[in-house]
Chain A
Amino acid sequence: MDDVIRIANAQAFWGDSSDAPATLLAQQPQIDWLTLDYLAEVSMSILARQRQRDPTAGYARDFLDVIQSLAPAWRNGSRMRLIANAGGLNPRGCAQACVAILRGSGCAGMKIGIVSGDDVVEQLRSDPTCQHFCNLETGATLTGILDRLVSANAYLGAAPIVEAIDAAADIIITGRVADPSLTVAPCMAHFGWRSDDYDRLAGATVAGHLIECGTQVTGGISTDWLDVPDAARIGFPVVQVSRDGSCVLSKPSGTGGRVNARTVKEQLVYEIGDPANYISPDVIASFLTLCIQELGDDRVQIGGATGQPPTPFYKVSATYRAGFRASGMLTIVGRDAVPRARRCGQIVLERLRRAGFEPQRALVECLGSGDSAPGVLPRRDDLHETVLRITVADERRDVVERFSREIAPLVTSGPQGTSGYFDGRPAVREVFGYWPCLIERDRVQAKVDVLEV
């Protein structure tokens, strides 16, 4: 067996570049596993809506374009395998659609693994007073939102993915899985790690954490982004994980972007809490023992991770209906742009009230004047242009609908220099609240199936 395994990421979120997977494979054919992440915290609520309208939906359809784009490489003998959480609420439906595409593309014989069982909405519904289902952040009990509950998914770990790999799956489609587990699973399968090899699991978890946001570790959103070379051709990340759990992070040669100790450190601290206890379903990893070493040529070695046994729970990400929202923008140009924009905002809200629609929540922002961090960024009221953004949220759809009709009249009744009303009325969108909670592991049954193309 090889001493290293090469794992790449080419999709950081639903909406990331659809060309990235095929481009990455062309740039660096020697990749063992490609991981793709489609699910943000509230993505499941959107998928739940789609599945309500169409029972065959409920997964990330963009993923099918990716499968189509990779099919020629597989037909020509590429051995790269793929793990994606694109299955959303319907991993089987997603897998069946992939089978159809691959059959039509001459890829007969490939195997598609399906990991499901993360959907725990029935467990929550049937036991709403369970203390573990209380909101982890607010402590509120589930009963308060039970009638508005839309989705609830446990973050599964690497184990069911390993099972699919052991069943010779070339493509593994999951629902909700902890993002680093997409990387941990192929390492476990490749090196034969046990589920209590905590230091190695911690190392692979760190590798997964580093690549799960794609180009964020190769120069994207870095503090010195303006100096990142060839940013239009920024490369996606590749980790080469060793048997001891350490890894070397890089990007395909010839691509833009940058990998150095700084980009790695920035991504290590991205969206973490206590760095001594980075909790995943596979292990509790400590970042405090990590050792970062630049190797040059956009390569950085990360080693020294240590791990502790995981908790007896899975984290659950639930979503609930929380009303409606719309946000409208206008650009106000000229002297006193900011005071004029603020007046516009007040006019819209006053008209809404006069029409009998007092919104539950409203916000007026004058972008450019420091309002993106209100009271903290230096406030600038002497601008010659500002973007006025008015946002209204309410449980009642009609309030938000009415608000969306109050922006346009400013084009003629508002200040001179009002511009940027191109897109018509702002869209009224349903809002989903996020409900993080826990569930005991024995109440969740992960399931693995394999389809053959």
Chain B
Amino acid sequence: MPHHGAYGPLDDIDARGMQFRGARRIRSMKLRLGQIAYARSGDKGAAANIGVIAHTPAGYELLRQRLTADVVELFFAPMHPGRVRRYELPNLGALNFVLPEILAGGAGLSLRIDAQGKALGQVMLEMSIDVPDDLLPQCLP
């Protein structure tokens, strides 16, 4: 499986979603974003947006710090998302990402099977994210 760096998708985590690093004391675990958040995506003209909603307030704070626009842009880089913009919705525990060019022409012109960006939320939830041990229980639903 090609690896995409720290934020590439993870499909080799164990059943508890934890990854242990040798014999060293565990300081953080790699989780799938979908374990601490849920999402919804769609299109608006040529742009797509992905709303990512944390299950818990601690999870939101973690995402607010780590899930920056740059991280999302890097994750989707192979699909040429354009300059990603991020908006915070602290009252919902949510972040909204706008990916202006990811649909390669938008619903009308894109040749892709997912011309409307409906799958991008599911794809994003596959991103791997480091969660510090002490935060983990507060981030899970």
Contacts and interface: CB of A to CB of B under 8 A. Distances in A.
Interface in B80-119: 87, 89-94, 96, 98, 100, 106-109, 111-114, 118-119
B92 A373 contact: no
B129 interface: no
Interface string A352-385: 0000000001110101000111111111000000
B28 to A, nearest CB: 22
A372 B107 contact: no
Given A265-B94, A272-B96, A378-B9, A434 B106 contact: yes
Given A376-B76, A376-B78, A391-B111, A273 B40 contact: no
A288 B76 CA distance: 27
Nearest to B42: A271
A295 interface: no
Contacts of A290: 91-92
A371 B108 contact: no
Interface string A223-251: 11000000000000000000000000000
Given A372-B119, A373-B120, A322 B108 contact: yes
Most A CB contacts (10 A, CB to CB) among B51, B77, B90 go to: B51
Contact of A372 (B9, B47, B114): B114
Nearest to A287: B89
Contacts of B75: 376
Contacts of B122: 223
B44 A378 contact: no
Nearest to B12: A378
Interface in B115-136: 118-123, 125-126
A267 interface: yes
A137 B78 contact: no
B120 A270 contact: no
A221 B40 contact: yes
Interface string A321-364: 01001010000000000000000000000000000000001110
A289 interface: yes
Nearest to A393: B111
Given A269-B49, A289-B91, A389-B113, A374 B78 contact: yes
Most B CB contacts (10 A, CB to CB) among A292, A378, A391 go to: A378
A271 B4 CA distance: 27
A104 interface: no
25 contacts: A137-B46, A223-B38, A223-B39, A265-B51, A267-B40, A268-B51, A268-B94, A269-B40, A271-B49, A272-B51, A273-B87, A273-B98, A289-B91, A290-B92, A291-B91, A325-B111, A362-B111, A365-B112, A372-B112, A372-B113, A373-B114, A373-B120, A374-B78, A375-B77, A433-B108
Interface of A: 41-42, 136-138, 221-224, 262, 265-276, 287-292, 319, 322, 325, 327, 361-363, 365, 367, 371-379, 389, 391, 393, 431-434, 436
